[in-house]
Structure 1
Amino acid sequence: MRQNSFFVLSVLLLAAVVSMLPNAVLFPAAHDIAVHLHVPVSFVGLMVTSYSIAYVAATPVFGILSDYAGRKSVLLVGLVLFGLGGIVPLVVQQGVMILAGRVVMGIGSAGVLPMVDSTIGDMYEAGANRRKALAAFGGAIAVAEAVLPFLSGLCDSISWRGVFMLYTSAFVSALLVTWIVWPKKLDEPDSYSPHGYLRALKLTSTMPALFGALLCTVLFGVVYFGVSSLLPLSVDNGNNGLLNGFLFLPLGISWVASSAWFVKRPHIVKVHRAILLGSLILAVGTILLGLTHKVLFLLAISLVWGLGSGILTTLYSWVVGDETPARVRGAVNALYNAAYVLGFAIGAPLFLYLKEVWSYQWSATTAGGVMIVSGVLGYILIRIGQHASPAL
Structure 2
Amino acid sequence: MSGVSLRNVRKSYGNHEVIHGIDLEIDPGDFIVFVGPSGCGKSTLLRMIAGLEGITDGTISIEGNVVNDVPSPQRGISMVFQSYALYPHMTVQQNMAFGLKLRRTPIERIKETVGAAAKSLQLDSYIDRFPKALSGGQRQRVAIGRAIVREPKVFLFDEPLSNLDAALRNQTRIEIARLHRSMDATMIYVTHDQIEALTLATKIAVLKDGVLQQFATPDEIYNRPANVFVAGFMGAPPMNLIDGTIEETADGELHIRLARKELGDVLIPLKNVPEHRKRLGQPVVFGLRPEAISLAAESSDASLSKIECKIDYVEVTGADRITVCDFSEGRMFARLPAGADVSEGDQVTFHFNADNISLFDKDTGLRIESAQNA
TM-score, scaled to structure 1: 0.24
Normalized per residue, the structure richer in strand is: 2
Structure with the bigger RCO (C-alpha within 8 Å, sep 6+) is 1
TM-score, scaled to structure 2: 0.25
Report which of the two structures shows the higher radius of gyration computed on alpha carbons. 2
Normalized per residue, the structure richer in helix is: 1
